[in-house]
Structure 1
């Protein structure tokens, strides 16, 4: 089934979009079209961005930590030590959301995603553990995956300490790929009983390069499409055969419910659509919503569509944990 047909089916479950919301999104997209696209395959780019992030964060006080709303922990498992940024909600906890940040596998950190994870903690009444995994600027995506698997194994073993019983795994963009691989790892080793659901925002699941990515051009919004494909080609040689293809090609049977949210203008929109199709075929419990006029990472943009997408994810997670 082609992506266009999949999109028509997936969008049936979407919230209604008003003319005003779509018009505002188009206006912002016109502005984004004037900006240079980010080349995710250039490692000097990632190193520069990561240096700037570190410099800013070293100068700006970590307010959530100071107020006691968040704390830093270290997960130790399978010989790996992985940082966790743990965010507490006000009042009781329904469960634990384990979040993997985006950044094309090569940049970003847990604190940078506070704008996403803190609202989830409060609106969903859930504890959030954001993972500070190895950024693969050295092209060692295998180390990144080991960090992610080790951190969640540790969390599963320490659920009693956090006084929760249920977990949701998820992330954005490359982070959604990492969350999916962790879920598959837990499932394969009989450790996924506590996992209640999986959420993805603009996730990448086909590491061979989906059709929409291969069709994309340098004019795609936010990120340069061909550079994203070259980035995959740099990262995958460090992985085993199945992992080098991506979770789209794994056995998805027996998995918990999933929500996948994508943007229609995203070069990797096919990743979400095809992952939804396969998850639905094999486990029968996946939902997918494609937002029109939405580029990659649109949930971080100042639009009503972004607010609606983030709200949809929070409502779904609250329902799953309830």
Structure 2
């Protein structure tokens, strides 16, 4: 059996976390602890937030479009068109990063993730495709998955037109689940050879509910843990077979290198640990980095830990895509 995935901690595989970094994170966590937790199983709040996001995005000019950093696109099938937000790098295109946004499968869109994806386009010199799949506010997660599979097929079919040869798949939270399913779909179709890597931030891979999620309570930061578990129970009846359990229960052999990042305070931290362990055992190329004092979605918070996590993702992606772009794999 191959070695289990590495759980990096301070002083092991990473520059040690400083007292200043951890102190600032703890102070922010104390503030977050005073705020109400978001309940992901309540559809009315997802619909309300999504309507607010769309209104703001309609009223506020698209900064990337104004600076000619974005190109519109649509993945098309015989009966469905899905928006693809293409963020253009300056100069050479080393590859394509396909990003699946988070939002508990029920809210969010590609533009909302510009603060994450735009720096990837710039730093990694990669074309970025943010996918605007349908959100499962009707609990039809099967249709959301169908959108993601159709879009990844379309993108792979059009790599030459996009002027790239290899892709990296990734996402945050529920988006990491969708990215993993897209990768497994490509492998089933014999097309996973174009995928250079997979990256996850606070990903959800066990749709049955990981141990850390089942142990969680209302004290977990930002999101209510038990509400998140109920959300899974609302969504999974639309799926059948292995997909109803999640990517963790799939055959994870012959997959590209993976980087999984999570926060130690995340109710679904076990998803990343278990997925990385299975990936490492079956494919031998997974790393898992657990950030201390970090909640679910911590990479979006105004802390140095968040900056380090986002920088780590970009550095890993740059190195990974360079290996295939320069023919060193």
Q: 1:135, CA displacement in angstroms?
A: 0.3
Tell me which residue corresponds to 2:248.
248
Using the alignment, how far apart are the partners of 1:14 and 1:245 within structure 2? 33
CA contact (8 A) 1:77 1:153 kept: no
Tell me which residue corresponds to 1:3.
none
Q: 1:217, CA displacement in angstroms?
A: 0.2
Tell me which residue corresponds to 1:213.
213
Q: 1:78, CA displacement in angstroms?
A: 6.1
Q: 1:191, CA displacement in angstroms?
A: 1.1
Q: 1:16, CA displacement in angstroms?
A: 1.9
Deviation string for 1:117-165 (max 9, x for gaps)? 0001001110000000010000000000000011110000000001100
Using the alignment, how far apart are the partners of 1:295 and 1:16 within structure 2? 19
Q: 1:91, CA displacement in angstroms?
A: 1.0
**Structure 1 pair 253–78 and aligned structure 2 pair: CA distance change class (3 A):** farther
Q: TM-score, normalised by structure 1?
A: 0.97
CA contact (8 A) 1:134 1:143 kept: yes
Q: 1:72, CA displacement in angstroms?
A: 1.5
Q: Structure 1: where are the runs of 5+ without partners? A: 1-5
Q: Structure 2: where are the runs of 5+ without partners? A: 323-329
Tell me which residue corresponds to 1:283.
283
Using the alignment, how far apart are the partners of 2:167 and 2:293 within structure 1? 32
Using the alignment, how far apart are the partners of 1:71 and 1:162 within structure 2? 11
Using the alignment, how far apart are the partners of 2:195 and 2:295 within structure 1? 30
The total of aligned residue pairs comes to 317
Tell me which residue corresponds to 1:60.
60
What does 1:1-322 align with in structure 2 at a 5 Å threshold?
Answer: 9-11=7-9, 12-77=12-77, 79-322=79-322
RMSD: 1.2
Q: 1:10, CA displacement in angstroms?
A: 3.9
Q: TM-score, normalised by structure 2?
A: 0.95
Using the alignment, how far apart are the partners of 2:62 and 2:152 within structure 1? 24
Q: Which runs of 4+ in 1 moved over 4 A?
A: none
Using the alignment, how far apart are the partners of 1:255 and 1:306 within structure 2? 27
